[in-house]
Structure formats: structure tokens, C-alpha cells
Amino acid sequence: MILGAILIADSLTAPRFEVVPFLVGLLMVGLIPVDAIIDAATRPSRDEAELARLEEIMKRKDGAK
């Protein structure tokens, strides 16, 4: 955790902002939960699920006519 805080402080005080050390520091300190990142990366997007649901509704609607 201390190393993460050092990385955050170093990236914020550097003349040029470094994104990667800043994000790694946030991960090490625990401000960004790793399991939430993994879940967000592995689950299907809401758009795909919403599109599949709407297609199913349209199929039912066409079958009812």
C-alpha cells in the first residue's frame, strides 16, 4: 500500500503526468477494486443484452399477428 501511495504521489508531482504509474498506484492502494475491473471486462455489454431482449420481443410481436 505504501508503494502504491508513492506511485500516486510521484505521478502527480512529476512534470509530465504519467497515467500508467498513477493507475497502478490506485490499484495497489485499493482505490480501484480489481474484481470490479475483471467483471466489467468479462461480462457482455448492456447493449448486446438489450438488443437480444428487443429482438425477442419483436419475434413474439410478429408471431402474434
The tens digit of pLDDT for each residue in 43-52 reads 766 677 788 8
Cα–Cα distance measured from residue 11 to residue 27, given in angstroms and rounded to the nearest whole number: 14
Q: Same domain, yes or no, for 41 and 26?
A: no
pTM across the whole model: 0.57
Number of DSSP helices (H) and strands (E) in the chain, helices first = 4, 0
For the chain, the distance separating the N- and C-terminal CA atoms, rounded to the nearest angstrom, is: 63
Q: Same domain, yes or no, for 25 and 41?
A: no
The tens digit of pLDDT for each residue in 5-39 reads 999 999 999 999 989 999 999 999 998 888 888 88
Asked whether 8 and 22 are in contact (CB, 8 A), the reply is yes
Asked whether 10 and 21 are in contact (CB, 8 A), the reply is yes
Neighbour count for residue 22 (Cβ, 10 Å): 17
Q: Same domain, yes or no, for 18 and 44?
A: no
Q: Same domain, yes or no, for 28 and 43?
A: no
Residue-number span of the structural domain to which 52 is assigned: 34-65
